[in-house]
Amino acid sequence: MDFFEHIIIGSGPAGVSAALKLEGPNTCVVDVANKPASDFPYSNLKEALASGQTENILGNHWEMLSNLSNPLHCHPKLRAQTIRHVMQGEEFQVTDSANKLLVQGRGSFAAGGMANVWGAQLLRYNDDDLSEVGDWPILASELTRHYNDLESHIGISGVEDDMSPFLGPTNDLLPPIPGVPVANYMLDKYYARRSYKSEPGLRIGRPRLALLTQAYNGRSAYNFGETEFFTPAREGIYNPLHTLEELLQRDKIHYLGGHKLISFQEHQDYVEIQVEVVKTHEKKILRTKHLLLGCGTIQTTRLVLLNQGKEGLSLPFIDHPPTLLPVFFPASFGSKLPQHSYPIQLIGTLENGKGRDMMSFYFPAGMLWSDLLPDIPLPMNIARSVLSSLIGGMLVAQIWETSRPSKGNRMHVKTDGTVKIEYNDRQAYSKLPLLLTELRKLGGFSLDSLASAPPPSWGFHHAATLPMRINPKPFETHTDGRLWDSRRIRVIDGSVLPSLPAKNHSLTIMANSARISEQVKLCGY
């Protein structure tokens, strides 16, 4: 029987961060490891459209049209044929207070996890974030060293600018991504205004992205081919798969791809786990001194609940449901479209009002224009023509606020093993009128009627189901990741984050996983 010092479940951001910290001959990563069935055969979207090969763009089975009836059926980034493998994990449903189905989703069994489709914004939490959101039993400073190590490993592009106090310190940054004309216009207006007004209402700056603008650590720079909606994260955008492959090449870990965790049982001196070979359904038993669960919030929590025989027990669940707002900059209408670009162009935060928020300003490059037609309240043929004029002067703001557990937002596992999430409590973005005012000062115009609110779980910022506590109760975790009554089983993914500041949590999941993994090394047993 195979016996390891450490077994890590999952090869997403949490799992791979743990593998990096615990690398060695006695560490094993167990991973379902779905991979794409095919590749997107173009290096950039313009080339794809010029090819005229409809099936390569829309899919052999019209996969890109899966939102024809219901625009919320599938996240736009998850439709493409070459991305479908990312969402083949455990099923979940999200309902509202009237038990109306909002989302029918699936977790990820993909090698690399949800990072295959992330926007690559890797941001630190700082003390202001954690004190504002509350409920964290650790300090941001306990993550600093791990943030430093991860950023050095990954390579972060960006620039020290007005958003630096919000984003926190960082290591050496690679050059920022190229700005599109409308983003450069907005930034220029911001700096011009800031020179005579000391306290901006809306603070903006360049994003920090796990995206290589030059070769780094043996990896090539990103080609900015605008293929983000058609292919998983490519060379140049950090994907935990890159780290996993490097560890495997250097023979630094064992890897059991194509294996799925079924159950686990803790004994005095080890944990025994049962895994299933995905292709053959053969069952295997492995033993380990320490088990680290990093399957993603929904899937890890499901495993823990099923293992305890607690179907029906509901646990807190949080997400970062965003508000989306298209913003138009008339001065940039008709701008020549860039040859190369990346969607996330700027980030910002409103300084006024209560509570922190964060907004990412996206340029709609990399999307088919037909995707945008239904959102324009005009006949579609005219909307298509109007897009030619508008799109060069358009950004879409995606806005997050702090997210805390609340009574109406819960997750449980049904008797058939599927996951149900009730998401009853959702606050509308409270600072929209203020944001609209501040945007007008920067030459950007929008209306509150244009704001939309995608359903909860849309962005996969899931957390808080097994929150870290100083003194954990059942279905909570110790600050070293251990389940409440366990010595040897730890949770290393978003499940343990007790609340979410108004920032992406990806880098913090990785840093926290590294911190917990370090505790495993130091635990002495």
Partner 1 sequence: MVNKSDLTREAEVFHRQFFRQNAPKEFIEQYLDAHDELLDLTQASKNELRTVNIIIKRNLDALGIEPWLRSGSKRHLLSRKLLLTAYLAECDALHPGFRQETHGHALSLLYLCGHGGLAAFHLIKGRIQKAYYGLF
Residues that bind partner 1 (CB under 8 A): 46, 49-54, 57-58, 61-62, 64-65, 68-72, 330-337, 368-370, 373-374, 377-382, 384-386, 388-392
Q: What's the closest the beta carbon of residue 53 comes to partner 1, in angstroms?
A: 8
∠ at Cα 7 (274, 248), nearest 5°? 120
User: What Rg, from alpha-carbon coordinates, does the chain have?
Assistant: 23
Dihedral-angle region of residue 161 (phi above 0 means left; psi in -120 to 50 means alpha; beta otherwise): beta
**Helix, strand or coil for residue 421?**
strand
User: What are the backbone dihedrals phi and psi of residue 47, each rounded to the nearest 5 degrees, phi first?
Assistant: -65, -40
Nearer to partner 1, 314 or 370 (CB): 370
Nearer to partner 1, 99 or 280 (CB): 99
Separation between Cα atoms, residue 98 and residue 87, nearest integer Å: 27
Nearer to partner 1, 129 or 226 (CB): 226
Nearer to partner 1, 79 or 85 (CB): 79
Q: What's the closest the beta carbon of residue 400 comes to partner 1, in angstroms?
A: 23
Separation between Cα atoms, residue 235 and residue 233, nearest integer Å: 7
Nearer to partner 1, 56 or 406 (CB): 56
Separation between Cα atoms, residue 465 and residue 373, nearest integer Å: 38
Query: How many CA atoms, within 13 angstroms, populate the side-chain half-sphere of residue 351?
Result: 12
Nearer to partner 1, 61 or 414 (CB): 61
Nearer to partner 1, 334 or 433 (CB): 334
Q: Which residues of 206-223 are buried (b: 16+ CB within 10 A; e: fewer)?
A: bbbbbbbbeebeebebbe
Q: What's the closest the beta carbon of residue 303 comes to partner 1, in angstroms?
A: 32
Q: Where are the beta strands (DSSP E) in 282-393?
A: 283-293, 315-316, 323-328, 344-350, 357-362
Q: What's the closest the beta carbon of residue 392 comes to partner 1, in angstroms?
A: 5
CB atoms inside a 10 Å sphere around CB 161: 16
Q: What's the closest the beta carbon of residue 345 comes to partner 1, in angstroms?
A: 17
Nearer to partner 1, 94 or 491 (CB): 94
Nearer to partner 1, 97 or 437 (CB): 97
Q: What's the closest the beta carbon of residue 105 comes to partner 1, in angstroms?
A: 16
CB atoms inside a 10 Å sphere around CB 290: 26
Q: What's the closest the beta carbon of residue 227 comes to partner 1, in angstroms?
A: 14
Chain-centre distance for alpha carbon 220: 22
CB atoms inside a 10 Å sphere around CB 262: 14
Separation between Cα atoms, residue 87 and residue 68, nearest integer Å: 19
Q: What's the closest the beta carbon of residue 485 comes to partner 1, in angstroms?
A: 43
Nearer to partner 1, 337 or 523 (CB): 337
Nearer to partner 1, 100 or 473 (CB): 100
Burial of 515 (0-12, 13-18, 19+ CB in 10 A): buried
Six-digit token pair at 19? Answer: 């593998």
Q: What's the closest the beta carbon of residue 332 comes to partner 1, in angstroms?
A: 8
User: What are the backbone dihedrals phi and psi of residue 358, each rounded to the nearest 5 degrees, phi first?
Assistant: -145, 140
Q: What's the closest the beta carbon of residue 364 comes to partner 1, in angstroms?
A: 11
Q: What's the closest the beta carbon of residue 37 comes to partner 1, in angstroms?
A: 17
Position 190: which residue type? Y
Is there a contact between 10 and 493 (Cβ–Cβ < 8 Å)? yes
Q: What's the closest the beta carbon of residue 389 comes to partner 1, in angstroms?
A: 4
Separation between Cα atoms, residue 29 and residue 13, nearest integer Å: 13
Nearer to partner 1, 51 or 223 (CB): 51
Q: What's the closest the beta carbon of residue 66 comes to partner 1, in angstroms?
A: 8
Nearer to partner 1, 333 or 484 (CB): 333
Which own/partner pairs from 128-135 qualify as long-range (CB within 8 Å, at least 24 positions apart)?
A: 128/356, 129/356, 129/501, 129/502, 129/503, 130/501, 132/355, 132/356, 132/402, 132/501, 133/402, 133/403, 133/404, 133/499, 133/500, 133/501, 134/404, 134/499, 135/404, 135/467, 135/498, 135/499
Q: What's the closest the beta carbon of residue 382 comes to partner 1, in angstroms?
A: 5
Chain-centre distance for alpha carbon 510: 11
Nearer to partner 1, 48 or 303 (CB): 48
**Helix, strand or coil for residue 516?**
helix
Please name which of 516, 464, 497 lies closest in space to residue 146, comparing C-alpha atoms. 516
SS3 content of the chain, % helix, strand, coil (to 5): 30, 25, 50
